[in-house]
Amino acid sequence: MKDRNHLSNIGLSHQVNVISNGLLDIPMLQLLQADGVPHAQATLPEMTQQKAEKILGTMQFIRILDERMVAAQRQGRISFYLACTGEEASTVGSAAALEPQDMIMSQYREQGALAYRGYTTEQFMDQMFSNEKEPNKGRQMPIHYGVKELNFMTISSPLGTQIPQASGYAYGQKMAGLDAVTICYFGEGAASEGDFHAGLNMAAVLKCPVIFLCRNNGYAISTPSEEQFAGDGIASRGIGYGVKTIRVDGNDVLAVYAATQKAREIALAEQCPVLIEAMTYRLAAHSTSDDPSGYRSKDEEERWRAKDPVQRFALWMQSQGWFDEEQNKLFLEQSRQEVLSELKRVEKVPICKVDEIITDVYDVPPWHLKEQLAELKAHIAKYPDAYPKTSGRL
């Protein structure tokens, strides 16, 4: 019979022992140096040229998309945007190590994972402009993507809600006997939410096949990590909850890929959670509502630009004979043109009719929602100049 005495496996000591932060040494997996040269002792994961080209192309495309959409927000063409510049390896590298049947639950800076799955430029634009072609019918903020066909759960604005949801979804995968895991992305700031602790504990106790991937980019908006917590990052918390844990260089796409491959292997074979802490840096502002110059220096940013994940991987590919400078320039130009042409197209697509705002929640919209809709339509009709797009869709 199983021994349920929780003290049975604890060693004894006859002196006072204080466990301090320094006694827990959690190494960081790094395979490629900043110049793209592998460490002498590194064991690189198997990687085909085709997959490497897709990973690099996705990271480069997302950087172009970020640059263009931040500019579009500054021009007043969209209301809001969140760039992932500097963190591309943590999201694209991990997505590349998954299988299509794996569920992705993201925070709001994982557009790279979605693009790797096959989300098109047209779909990105339709979502950000909230038009009638967008499946969510304009009910979400820009960058709050969701697409069932790609197993990408719709993003929620409240911080950390996806963490316990991921544990629950993975538990469902386990109960159904599926050959699939759930990956859940979040930043180190979200790890201060109660949902983080509830989600990890639930996954550990119920042995859910979920990968928790924390992008530790050093800042929770403007709050640096040293002002967020006193412990050894987020990895130590996984160990505290009994969750298998990996710390990885989040700017080394090969290391992220290898770590996620291993995490998926463990999660499936042992039906248990794995935490990955990807140590990276947000080169962009937190969002288009943020000015990072108020809380960090240009010197700090430049030190991290020297660790650019896109350049690092391109240099490694070059050493493999997989990188053609001219072909890459052509790809970048084509990507820019594609983003610009889709941006121009989408601005001409009508937004959803106002009546859509109360559908798809109840089978039949209740009286109070119908009443509120009537009041909204009357208000828009009274002030059409204040709602130029909506007034034409009453």
Considering the domain architecture, whether residues 277 and 380 belong to the same structural domain is answered as no
* CA–CA gap between residue 322 and residue 334 (Å, rounded): 19
**Residue at 32 is within a domain:** no
Residue among 111, 121, 117 nearest 83 (CA): 111
Do 324 and 360 fall within a single domain?
no
Cα distance between residue 95 and residue 103, in whole Å:
10
Q: Is 265 in the same domain as 386?
A: no
Print the domain residue range for 227: 45-346
| Amino acid in the structure at residue 302 | E
Last residue in a domain, options 346, 363, 380: 346
CB-based contacts of 315: which residues, under 8 Å, 6+ apart?
A: 35, 36, 37
For residues 316 and 172, membership in a common domain is answered with yes
Task: Decide the pairing of beta strands 219-220 and 223-224.
Answer: antiparallel
Same domain flag for 281 and 324: yes
Residue 357: partners with Cβ closer than 8 Å, 6 or more residues away: 139, 373, 376
> What's the whole-number mean pLDDT along residues 56-81?
96
**Domain co-membership, 196 together with 327:** yes
Mean pLDDT, the chain, integer: 94
State yes or no: is 237 an active-site residue.
no
Domain count, the chain: 2
pLDDT at 7: 62
Query: Which one of 144, 215, 282, 312 is the catalytic residue?
Result: 282
Token digits of residue 305: 């630009």
Report the predicted TM-score, pTM, of the whole model to 2 decimal places.
Answer: 0.94
> Cα(56)–Cα(93) distance, rounded to whole angstroms?
9
Same domain as 328, residue 291:
yes
Choosing from 39, 295, 305, 379, the catalytic residue is: 295
| Residue 18 covered by a domain | no
CATH code (residue 64) = 3.40.50.970
Say if 337 falls within a structural domain.
Answer: yes
Is 282 assigned a catalytic role? yes
Which tokens go with 48? 């085909």
Q: Is residue 13 part of a domain?
A: no
78 and 172 both lie in a single domain: yes
Indicate the pLDDT class of residue 313, thresholds 50, 70 and 90: very high
Give per-residue pLDDT as tens, 253-286.
Answer: 999 999 999 999 999 999 999 999 999 999 999 9
Instruction: State the pLDDT at residue 17.
Output: 75
In a domain, 25, yes or no: no
Question: Is 197 an active-site residue?
Answer: no
The verdict on 364 and 310 lying in the same domain is no
Write the pLDDT tens digit of every residue in 151-176.
999 999 999 999 999 999 999 999 99
24 domain residue, yes or no: no
Residue 103 pLDDT exceeds 70:
yes
The answer to whether position 34 is within a domain reads: no
Q: Is the CB of residue 302 less than 8 Å from the CB of residue 325?
A: no
**Ordered alpha helix ranges (H), the chain:** 49-74, 88-96, 111-117, 121-128, 162-176, 194-206, 235-240, 253-270, 298-305, 309-319, 325-346, 367-382
Give pLDDT tens digits for 373-386: 999 999 999 999 99
Q: Are residues 315 and 371 in the same domain?
A: no
